[in-house]
Amino acid sequence: MDEMVNKITWTQHLAIGIFVVLGTALAIYDFHLTGQAIKTLQASVPLVIEDQREPILPIPLTLVLDPAKVTLGEKLYHDPRLSGDDTVSCASCHDLAKGGTDQLPLSRGIGGRLGGINSPTTFNSGFNFVQFWDGRARTLEEQAAGPIHNPSEMGSSWPEVIAKLGADPFFRQFFAASYPDGITAVNITDAIGTFEKSLITPNSPFDRYLRGENEAIGPAAREGYRLFKEFGCVACHQGVNIGGNMFQTVGVLENYFAHRPITKADRGRYNVTGRAWNMHQFKVPTLRNIALTFPYLHDGSVATLRGVLEVMWSSQLGRKLQEDEAKLIIEFLKTLTGEYRGEPL
């Protein structure tokens, strides 16, 4: 019996390993600018890593960004005039007081319209290799334009937005100071993107641990991290954002979608490419501040960390989650909550 168990475990790990390699290769093929995006990130974000053997990297303590554009972008991020009826801002679905999300399964846009997918966090989104769950936006600037034109989100248009902002002396002054050509669609998204790049949450207990403060996290969290690596979670959740740098399929070893109708959002990356191998593929979400960014998964169907671990164990690892393992890994995940502008989230 032990020999059979070991054989099954070895087979599962082999399957996961092959899938990760193939999934990563396809993601790179699918998004041909990935290499350039990573080079740009490395050039703009110097990382100081104390232990090169660890698969997770600490968030840099500071970034070099244009402060005037950050300030302007912050004003735009919180301004509901970007929506058609002046009721919805970026912050409506990406509330910084709620971990950069709205903590709802599906967000509501203009006129109370229900969206089709869970709103991901904007914190640390500048470290993602693409934006949106399906990766349809390559940059934060491109992402910022999407909700403005989506009839279920902000339901507006550039002429309408530019006219509203142009009637405001504050925005005319601030745009003129940073952009010679004033208020344009490109400049609006550039300012919002610059602000979103500033939304980093460094100095989590786990980051301090990575930087050499061994007592920054307790023994239970350290053991949880060991299990996190042992079970192969780091195959998809690693790097500075502990995710956000590849696409992977939901349901590698168990069909996550078997017991309910498939929605358009469930198709994931397939909606962008139309390629069969992209069906049910999603950008791997960041685990940064995960204790605050509930509910989980692209459909917002799982309310707790315990629940989402159970889904991952069955659908991605093909095994049953043990209670003692879950408690330890959750202790580790809780140490990933960082600080924003020097204050704990």
Residues with active-site annotation: 153
Cis peptide before 295 (omega within 30 of 0): yes
Q: Which residue shows structure tokens 């971990």?
A: 99
Positions of E strands within 73-178: none
Q: DSSP letter at 119?
A: P
The answer to whether 109 and 86 are in contact (CB under 8 A) is no
What SS3 state is found at 62? coil
The answer to whether 73 and 193 are in contact (CB under 8 A) is yes
Residues in the chain: 345
The answer to whether 187 and 175 are in contact (CB under 8 A) is yes
**Nearest Cα residue to 23 out of 175, 249, 197:** 249
